[in-house]
Structure 1
Amino acid sequence: MNDIRPTVTSFGPARLLAGTDRGRLDRTRHVAVHGPMPVLGPDEVVALTRTIDLRGRGGAGFPFARKFQAVMDALRSTDGNPAVVVNGTEGEPSCLKDTALLLNAPHLVLDGAEIAAVALRADEVAIGVTRGDVKASVQQALDDRRSLSVRMRVEELPERFVTGEGSALINGLNNNAALPSGRRIRTSERGLNGRPTLLSNTETFAQLAVAARVGASAYAEVGLPDEPGTAMLTIAGEAVVEVPTGVPLNYVLQMCGMSIGQGLLVGGYHGMWLNPRASETALVSRESLTALGATLGAGAVLPLPEETCPVGETARVARYMAGESAQQCGPCVWGLARLADELEALTTYGGQAAYDAVLSHARGVLGRGACSHPDGTSRFVSSALRAFPEDVGQHVYEGGCGRSVVGVLPIDGNDVGKAEQRLLVDWTLCRAHGLCAEVLPDVIQLGPDGYPSSASMPFREKDLANAARAVRRCPALALRVVG
């Protein structure tokens, strides 16, 4: 569970984080810092958000005005009231900006949601979160807002990577399993309890609350002319910063006391790796990152230090992503597991065959999943192969780069860097004797040909002694324990 409480700071004018340097803003301090909440009509919300080009800050970057208009259009053919949903689940361990906002400035987020709800005449706002402390902060804020014009509730959902996917969030808030539906249903047409629903990310609603107060012209005084305002970033999985758009990413890292190192992962574990040269030119800007083949996504920025193995770090995250499968489709259940297997084989043994297998499995899951999880993981892995050609070459042609896997990329909140114990199979030595499976039948599964069905098999601490026995029993010396 990710229970890290992020540090928060601003480089440049603080807007979303204004006043939080003295701690959490309760209702009184919030109004003193930001002023009373304005009331906007639906056309005013559309015009404002279109003028400032407000985009979703949860990953896809979809224009907020189009989402809002889509709900308005759906209401023309639907009886009843719409709903508003705030996505504060943040299931990715490398992202903490929504957590930072809901712990420090919850009323700003609630203001944005209420502004949208009043404009749409929605009768309910639901906030989805995955942390107990975040839920407590939001609930306290709701209790302080005694004159609510719309009913609001906060729900704690399971902390999984896929919980933040739109249909998974709606399912969870509807008291069903918080898993992707696998169907292409627009939330704007059928969302919370089957009603047209405006769904957006925590930061997006906070940005709306700021823009509604200051107006489009003043909002555009900060940041780029075509992408005005500020952005929230999570740096290295622990520090949350608010910066004007257009600021160089390298400058943000330097202000956090960090460097690019071997490269940057931008956009989190559904994002893209940038090599050092691209990282030095990258700005906090959609246009800049698009030109480099990347996207800011949910705002996660992770530098890779020189002392760790890029291929191994990527394999470690790929294994985590395979474990976060919704277990609803083959590409996710089997494809991502095999992709992680082949990456681990490339990390451990190297060789052209392992490299070709990684490419094959990364391509094989594309466009075939019930949700975007396979595509995002494939994009993450493929970009690593492109961003670190020298390290990949060392693994392919020399059997490794000589560096250990430090575990700098967070995969389980506070469990950063903790190695998982696994049995690895060297396919160049294995002769399908099958003796290992007799010792660890719950861990080692044999295929129809008598060979282990996987090159990398995790096991629990209680099985360590038997794992060592399996290694000793192998006549071909094809097994070893790592982690």
Structure 2
Amino acid sequence: MYGAPIAWLGRPVLFAGLEQVERLDHRAHLVVHGRPPSMAADELADLAENVNLRGRGGAGFPFARKIRAVVKAAARRRTRPVVVVNGTEGEPSCLKDAALLLRTPHLVLDGALLAAEALGAEQVVLGVTRADTEQSLLKALTERRSTPLPVSVNRLPERFVSGEGSSLARGITSGIALPRGGNIRTSDSGVGGVPTLLSNAETYAQLAVAAGMGALPYREVGLPTEPGTVLLTLAGKQVVESPAGVPLADMLQMFGMDIGQGVLTGGYHGTWLSPDNARKALVSRESLRGLGGALGAGAILPLPDTTCPLGEVLRVTRWMADETAGQCGPCYLGLPALAKAVEEVVRGGGRAALDVVETRMREVTGRGACSHPDAASRFLASALEVFDDDLQMHSYQYGGCGRPVQDVLPMPEMESAGSIVVDWTLCEAHGLCTSVLPEVISLAPDGFPSAAVMPVPSQLLQQAARAVDRCPALALRIQ
């Protein structure tokens, strides 16, 4: 009911008050956190700068600069801005924002309303994709009875791309959650074309805490350069609030995990750390970046020794290819081609297959309407570096590393949209179907599909239709 289990190291700050209850209603929230003070826009920007508050959704952009950019754009255009809370969190390895919205939604609302009043905004919009977070926020707004300006909850399609900034703004405006491209900042033109202050749920929660505590008490926790606490999702199942600066290996050990073959930091748009670097790392944006990792959206995914690293990487690469918005070639065509090339490497394609992977990564980098192709390529490049020994075994040794793929890296659970059915009287074992739909159709040793009826997740329905169209023997149909 309240999402992933939560925990904290030291004294909880964002999770304060949750020691005894699972959710803070408005009355309990006021007892724990009080009411944040009213602040002018320049005061709010100064506070965010003083505590070095950065966006906690992935990019880590300084929040003070966002505030000042929106103020400047709104003044230039003589319009009132909009404040948007990004609670979409479309990546299956990230659960921290959902934990906030389900358990302490009023802290997020306080931060958003604090910013909106400081900026003279016309409205606050909370973008979500999950039914439970939508209901939690609607319940929280009912508990408040009234707000100083309009606040609405907008539910968008549960897709990875829905959380991209311009995609979220566009989805709120028109219902079409697709990246806009064109390098237009939402601080200049966001929801409804007006300047928009957009950041994720944790950023607004941190803002509310900093405003309530004041800068100096807030800075007593964490590192001098990165004060405060950080919300992390460990292994896609445990949300932990930690002071910045805690050794990463020690944290994993506290929760029964170890570094294993390496640690993915920052989620599926992040990068891998080798075991040696993971042992040196602190829970810190600067520390992780210095070792080749990324704090990103706070997802930390250790990979145990028992699973095949490249098999796990292939699963994620396929998923990122499926999450394309379908509106630019590097994403819609390039990422599936990249996933196919990685599959050839895993199957033992040797140097030629590796060359194709490197070519495909270059082809998608720097050419997309959003950062998704670049991030997918970065994720894969770091994996190939960290898992080089495994890469050599798969490339040049029959049978690869010999370990099974245990599906350690979390993937979304999707309901079936139907089944793809094989007509054995027509099938000629061309195998083209599995190149289009490898997540659903696998081939038996004889080259024919391994099953006659295969459920198709709703997210892959379009791919399934392409597989049907591609079959030269007309042996497939969707039922």
TM-score bucket (shorter structure) = 0.7 to 0.9
What's the counterpart of residue 26 of structure 1?
Answer: 25
Structure 2 letter corresponding to 1:444: L
2: CA distance between counterparts of 1:87 and 1:375? 21
Q: Does 1:279 align with 2:278?
A: yes
Structure 1 residues 103-122: aligned runs within 5 Å? 103-122=102-121
Which range is displaced more, 215-224 or 145-154?
Answer: 145-154
What's the counterpart of residue 474 of structure 1?
Answer: none
Structure 1 letter corresponding to 2:404: S
2: CA distance between counterparts of 1:338 and 1:317? 14
* 8, 11, 33: which one aligns with 2:9: 11
Structure 1 residues 174-185: aligned runs within 5 Å? 174-185=173-184
Structure 1 residues 24-63: aligned runs within 5 Å? 24-63=23-62
For the aligned residues, what is the CA RMSD?
2.6
Which range is displaced more, 58-67 or 345-354?
Answer: 345-354
Structure 1 residues 15-414: aligned runs within 5 Å? 15-21=13-19, 22-399=21-398, 400-413=400-413
Query: Normalised by the size of structure 2, how large is the TM-score?
Result: 0.88
Structure 1 counterpart SS, 2:76? coil
Quote the offset at 1:459 in angstroms: 4.2
Q: Does 1:467 align with 2:449?
A: yes
2: CA distance between counterparts of 1:42 and 1:370? 32
Structure 1 letter corresponding to 2:406: V
| Equivalent residues of 2:83, 2:121 under 8 A apart | yes
| Equivalent residues of 2:441, 2:449 under 8 A apart | no
2: CA distance between counterparts of 1:196 and 1:77? 10
1: CA distance between counterparts of 2:95 and 2:259? 20
| Equivalent residues of 1:163, 1:169 under 8 A apart | yes
1: CA distance between counterparts of 2:309 and 2:102? 33
1:381-418 deviations in Å (ceiling 9; x for gaps): 00001111111111122131111111100121489xxx
Residues 235 and 459 of structure 1, relative CA distance in 2, 3 Å threshold: closer
Q: Does 1:444 align with 2:432?
A: yes
Structure 1 counterpart SS, 2:117? helix
Quote the offset at 1:465 in angstroms: 11
Quote the offset at 1:349 in angstroms: 2.6
| Equivalent residues of 1:4, 1:238 under 8 A apart | no
Query: Normalised by the size of structure 1, how large is the TM-score?
Result: 0.87
1:336-365 deviations in Å (ceiling 9; x for gaps): 111111111111234221222212211221
2: CA distance between counterparts of 1:395 and 1:64? 44
2: CA distance between counterparts of 1:75 and 1:412? 39
Structure 1 letter corresponding to 2:3: R
| Equivalent residues of 1:95, 1:300 under 8 A apart | yes
Quote the offset at 1:439 in angstroms: 3.5
1: CA distance between counterparts of 2:426 and 2:185? 47
Structure 2 letter corresponding to 1:16: L
Structure 1 letter corresponding to 2:45: V
| Equivalent residues of 2:394, 2:401 under 8 A apart | yes
Quote the offset at 1:458 in angstroms: 4.7
1: CA distance between counterparts of 2:22 and 2:30? 15
1:36-95 deviations in Å (ceiling 9; x for gaps): 222111111011001111000000000000000001101222233111000000000000
Which range is displaced more, 65-74 or 190-199?
Answer: 190-199
2: CA distance between counterparts of 1:263 and 1:167? 33
Residues 63 and 157 of structure 1, relative CA distance in 2, 3 Å threshold: same
Equivalent residues, number: 444
Quote the offset at 1:371 in angstroms: 0.8
Which range is displaced more, 351-360 or 290-299?
Answer: 351-360
Quote the offset at 1:287 in angstroms: 1.2
Structure 2 letter corresponding to 1:411: M
Structure 1 letter corresponding to 2:411: I
2: CA distance between counterparts of 1:127 and 1:101? 13
Residues 459 and 100 of structure 1, relative CA distance in 2, 3 Å threshold: closer
2: CA distance between counterparts of 1:135 and 1:195? 24
| Equivalent residues of 2:2, 2:103 under 8 A apart | no
Structure 2 counterpart SS, 1:396? helix
Structure 1 letter corresponding to 2:428: V
Quote the offset at 1:460 in angstroms: 5.5
Structure 2 letter corresponding to 1:7: P
Quote the offset at 1:147 in angstroms: 3.5
1: CA distance between counterparts of 2:355 and 2:27? 60
| Equivalent residues of 1:345, 1:455 under 8 A apart | no
Quote the offset at 1:440 in angstroms: 6.7
1: CA distance between counterparts of 2:426 and 2:397? 31
1:446-475 deviations in Å (ceiling 9; x for gaps): xxxxxx9x49745469x99962599xxxxx
2: CA distance between counterparts of 1:201 and 1:94? 16
1:110-148 deviations in Å (ceiling 9; x for gaps): 000000000001120000001001100001111111231
Structure 1 letter corresponding to 2:258: S
Identity, % of aligned positions: 53
Structure 1: give runs of 5+ residues left out of the alignment: 424-434, 446-451, 471-483
Structure 2 letter corresponding to 1:6: A
Structure 1 counterpart SS, 2:333? helix
| Equivalent residues of 1:4, 1:413 under 8 A apart | no
